Amino acid sequence: MKRAVLLLLVVTFIWGLTFPIQKIALEGINPFFYNCLRFLVAFLLAVIFFRRKSSWKKGLILGLFLGIAYAAQTSGLKITSSTKSGFITSLYIPFVPFFSYIIEKNRPTLFQIISFLASIVGLYMLNDPSKDPFNLGDFLTLVCAVAFAIHVVLITHFTKTSDDEVSLLVPQFLLTSGINSVLIPLGGSLKINLAMTCALLFTAFFATIFAIWVQLKFQKHVGSNVSAIIYVGEPIFAALFSFIILSEKMSLIQFFGMILLISAMIMGTIKSYRGGGSNEYHLSKKEYQKVSGKGC
């Protein structure tokens, strides 16, 4: 389990790094065109490196929610502020236990419930959203958060009893690229430059193929709820890298929000390390041993 937690934390590190990288590279770039190319490149690389028979039904279901999430986030960002977009998108983290209970019938532990509540406060403090009224962009971003939450839960649900997780990569990359390609006319003019190309290759390989492979391979070991708490690291790393790379200033309230998020992440995962609390992890571990014959 420690390996799973460490690799999922590495994923949040990579996701956090993509924020300042893409902010620099995508200035004046059609975001739907970029998303289409990003997932098209990921699709082609997955076909080359993972020569497995694809599980199209489950993969396309995952791709549907992943595609909706990216398309809604990009559309919403054109209408609302980046600060509000960051906060509302991050709400997928506390949304996960709700959908986990509906889809997987897993109840969060008391520690996890406290962690999710603390993460909402911490996310608000870290993103410090403005007091602008709720608008269409906010609604689209909320759709994005819901889609990301369902995607996280479905990854755990689909991979619990399977040892061929890579069969789910190709279909979801292809559909996500297709969904964004339909929306390209809404994103403005098409152009490609060196910065965009570098960002595209980095995100396609590390933030897409590697990150989702890790989710498919290891998320089932800790379950959806613990995974969501680990993903609290994404906005933390995003804020840190924005401070380092973009020289964005961090207010005192944002600093305390970061501390609260780190505390929530530790509190939500410590119980699983000690082997208590979460029935979700024990069930996943048992099922995994049943299909693969080995432990976490």
pLDDT, mean of residues 61-77: 92
d(C-alpha 192, C-alpha 29), whole Å: 8
Burial code (b: 16+ CB inside 10 Å, e: under 16) for 112-147 equals beebbebbbebbbbbbebeeeeeeebbebbbbbbbb
pLDDT at 125: 85
Position with higher pLDDT, 240 vs 208: 208
Label residue 282 by pLDDT band (50, 70, 90).
Answer: very low
pLDDT at 243: 83
- What number of CA atoms fall less than 13 Å from residue 84's CA on the CB side? 19
d(C-alpha 184, C-alpha 120), whole Å: 33
d(C-alpha 246, C-alpha 37), whole Å: 25
Residue 287 has pLDDT above 60, yes or no: no
Residue 278 has pLDDT above 80, yes or no: no
pLDDT at 70: 92
Dihedral (CA of 20, 24, 27, 33) sign? negative
Asked whether the beta carbons of 159 and 168 are under 8 A apart, the reply is yes
Q: What token pair was written down for 142?
A: 């909320």
User: What pLDDT, in 10s, does the model give residues 140-193?
Assistant: 989 999 999 999 999 999 998 777 788 999 999 999 999 999 999 988 889 899
Q: What token pair was written down for 203?
A: 């995100």
CA dihedral 227, 232, 233, 237 (to 10 degrees): 150
Percent of the chain having pLDDT more than 90? Answer: 44
User: What pLDDT, in 10s, does the model give residues 91-148?
Assistant: 898 899 899 999 998 888 888 888 888 888 888 887 776 666 778 888 998 999 999 9
Angle at alpha carbon of residue 164, lines to 95 and 148, rounded to 5°? 20
Position with higher pLDDT, 41 vs 248: 41
Nearest residue to 59 via CA among 188, 167, 147: 167
Position with higher pLDDT, 249 vs 97: 97
Domain boundary assignment for the chain: 2-292
